[in-house]
Amino acid sequence: MSSDVAYKRILLKLSGEALEGKEAFGIDPDVLQRMSEEIGELVKAGVQVGLVIGGGNIFRGAKLAESGMNRVVGDHMGMLATVMNGLAMRDSLERNSIKTTLMSAMPIQGITTPYSWMEAISRLEKGEVVILSAGTGNPFFTTDSAACLRGIEIQADAVIKGTKVDGVYSADPMKDPDAVLYHELSYKEVVEKELKVMDLSAFILARDHKMPIMVFNMNKKGALMKVIRGEEEGTVIK
Ligand code: UDP
């Protein structure tokens, strides 16, 4: 493994919304290509990459429930949306010659591999990217919870969350021009300052298992690699 990486095995979480890119709905092929190239660089540097992708660009259970749908059904649709994003990402990674397995917490015979933590670790050790789709497999959770849960299960060194901004700020940087970017935070500071990193149940799971969380801007080229090298980029929570 290349010696200049600070993390050997990561759980990378990308939001579904980020896949939308310039499209109004669905998936922007340019975003898939750019993320595939960045993930390819990590793999070349010897980093083992587990990947959780959200589904918010297609369906979110809570949103569907607002218009009257049963929440459990809505969440099932949300989880299936993450499988569709996973299919698109696997296709893109494979077209970039990056060997990828698409696992799913909701097995779909002939299309995905059923999720197994031991199988995931074994494939990561062989240098494959492993996409962990369908969230936790349970309604009322988010893919942030899935990222922390799977990150802990596959014994990742960190959960790395890609967002649309540079990291964790004191206030919403899209709304408040005085918002300050934090480079390092403790779990305690995040809770005390009520900072928005991810939903609370996901965050508490990571905290209780001492899983470091990094937040970076996935629209900033090269930011992910800087995080992996341990350089000052985004926010580290530990
Ligand atoms: N979801 C779920 N259980 C999980 C993960 C996801 O029910 O363990 C559903 C939920 O409806 C959620 C949707 O899948 O809204 C898409 O995931 P998420 O909202 O986390 O996607 P993101 O915001 O990251 O695009």
What is the mean predicted confidence (pLDDT) over 109-121? Answer: 97
Tokens of 231: 């350089």
Ligand 1: which residue has its CA nearest to atom 14?
Answer: 78
Q: How far, in Å, CA of 83 to CA of 112, rounded?
A: 8
Do strands 168-169 and 181-182 pair parallel, antiparallel, or not at all (unpaired)? antiparallel
Q: How far, in Å, CA of 161 to CA of 208, rounded?
A: 18
Q: Is 214 helix (H, G, I), strand (E, B) or coil?
A: strand
pLDDT at 33 over 60: yes
In a domain, 208, yes or no: yes
In a domain, 39, yes or no: yes
With beta carbons less than 8 A apart as the criterion, state whether 3 and 47 touch: no
Q: Is 133 in the pocket of ligand 1 (CB under 6 A)?
A: no
pLDDT at 29 over 70: yes
In a domain, 135, yes or no: yes
Q: Which residue has the tokens 């595939």?
A: 36
In a domain, 4, yes or no: no
pLDDT category, 23, cuts 50, 70, 90?
confident
Q: Is 13 in the pocket of ligand 1 (CB under 6 A)?
A: no
Q: What total number of domains does the chain contain?
A: 1
Q: Is 14 in the pocket of ligand 1 (CB under 6 A)?
A: no
With beta carbons less than 8 A apart as the criterion, state whether 158 and 211 touch: yes
Q: Is 146 in the pocket of ligand 1 (CB under 6 A)?
A: yes
pLDDT at 1 over 80: no
- Give me the domain span that covers residue 132: 9-237
pLDDT category, 67, cuts 50, 70, 90?
very high
Helices within the chain (DSSP H only): 16-20, 29-44, 61-66, 71-95, 117-125, 143-153, 187-192, 200-208, 223-228
69 or 196: which leads in pLDDT: 69
pLDDT at 49 over 90: yes
The residues, any chain, with a CB within 8 Å of residue 2's CB and separated by 6 or more, are 45, 46
pLDDT category, 4, cuts 50, 70, 90?
confident
The domain spanning residue 129 has which CATH number?
3.40.1160.10
In a domain, 1, yes or no: no
Percentage of the chain beyond pLDDT 90 is 91
What is the mean predicted confidence (pLDDT) over 139-143? Answer: 97
In a domain, 85, yes or no: yes
pLDDT category, 3, cuts 50, 70, 90?
low
pLDDT for residue 2: 52
How far apart, in Å, are the Cα atoms of 157 and each of 106, 133, 152, 201, 228?
Answer: 26, 20, 9, 20, 10
169 among the known binding-site residues? yes
Q: How far, in Å, CA of 60 to CA of 51, rounded?
A: 19
In a domain, 3, yes or no: no
Percentage of the chain beyond pLDDT 70 is 99
Q: How far, in Å, CA of 125 to CA of 140, rounded?
A: 32
In a domain, 217, yes or no: yes
- Say how many Å lie between the CA of residue 231 and the centre of ligand 1: 30
Q: How far, in Å, CA of 99 to CA of 164, rounded?
A: 27
